[in-house]
A = this chain, B = another copy of it.
Amino acid sequence: MIQFEHVTKRYGERLALDDVSWRMNEGERVCLLGHSAAGKTTLLRLITHETQPTSGTVAIGTLRGGRLSRAHRALLRRTIGVIYEDFRLLGDRSVFENVALAVRISGHFADSDVIPRTLRALEEVGLHGKQAALPGELSFGERQRCAIARAIVNRPAILLADEPTGALEPRSAAEVLALLGRIQQEGAAVLLGTTRPEVDDAFGGRRIVLEDGRLREGGAPEHAFMPLPAAQASQAPHAAPPAPPAPHTGGA
């Protein structure tokens, strides 16, 4: 269904993905674990064809490689649901309209279906009480729920979730992960990108690990993903010397 073959992606000097090859089957559940700036979002953007690989091929279903036409890209995106890390909600439309717009754009459903579908999706993420609010009137977590509702409302064949629980407290996060799991069991392929090993653990599924743009399938969580250090005594001076933190960003 999704197949990367020796995909390399450069942004100018910066090597974001380095010779990545992997595949994902229909209806599979995959968790993409990687530290910040590892290249997770870049990988997802290659799937939606928001960006082109510098070399290698990306094949999605029957659409394979090369530059797709604008119409084909639009078609592809209508079969994919994406939860963006920065949500990308329309600030001038209510929560309901944001979700309903995705239903309308998909074109799969009759006009009379739009309202019930939208309401069901909002209910699934627990936002039905907020349907009239504008995104700017939501808490950050509520905005994320709205983004999730928009991604799942069409029950896409592929669901890409980029840190979908980043703004949620543990309990809500667990609920969202359960929802995504349910959608996968209904037949969708779900690819979840996250920096947090505990999300990976809770979500389950096959794990692939990105590290500085290189892929390590099924790898054990590395040192970078150790849990946070234990609670420090309140107001106590820090044990660690105030050395600047090691950057995670450079290194092409």
**Contact-size category for A:** 35 or more
- Stretch among A55-63, A73-81, A223-231 lining the B interface: A223-231
A20 CB within 8 Å of chain B: no
Name which residue of chain B comes closest to A140, CB basis.
B85
**CB interface residues, A 106-136, toward B, < 8 Å:** 123-130
A18 CB within 8 Å of chain B: no
Is B224 touching A201 in the complex (CB atoms < 8 A)? no
Known: A197-B170, A224-B171. A244 touches B185 (CB 8 A): no
**CB interface residues, A 209-252, toward B, < 8 Å:** 223-238, 240, 242, 244-250
- Stretch among A33-41, A64-72, A153-161 lining the B interface: A33-41
Known: A178-B238, A234-B204. A35 touches B248 (CB 8 A): no
Is B238 touching A185 in the complex (CB atoms < 8 A)? yes
Chain A residues close to B by CB (< 8 Å): 11, 28-29, 34-37, 41, 85-86, 123-130, 137, 139-142, 145, 162-163, 166-179, 181-182, 185, 195-206, 223-238, 240, 242, 244-250
